[in-house]
Structure 1
C-alpha cells in the first residue's frame, strides 16, 4: 500500500501522527506529512485507520 497526504488541506490536528506515527509525522512547518510512502504490511491497518479518521479527508492509503 502507498500513503499520500494532501498537505494543502491539512488542518494540523495530529490525529494521523497519533494513530500511525510510523508513517505520518508533523513536518517542521507544523503540517502533517507522509514520511514512509510504502506502508509496511504490519502497519496497513493503522494507516487506513488514520485515513478514515482524518477530519478533512486529505489522506489516501491504497
Structure 2
C-alpha cells in the first residue's frame, strides 16, 4: 500500500496520513510539499517515488542502465 500525503494539507491533517501508515504494516508513506488541492507540487519527485514503489512491488520492470 502506498500512502501519499501533502505536508501542508489543510483539509486532512498530515497526522492522519502518518497514523494510517503506522496502522498499516508494510505500507510505504510519502509526504511531499503540498496542500489538499495542489498536491503534488513537485511532480518530478512524485513521479520518481511512484515509479520506485511500483518497481519495488514488482509491477514495473527494473530500470535499464
TM-score (norm 1): 0.30
> Computing the radius of gyration over CA atoms, which structure comes out larger, 1 or 2?
2
TM-score by length of 2: 0.29
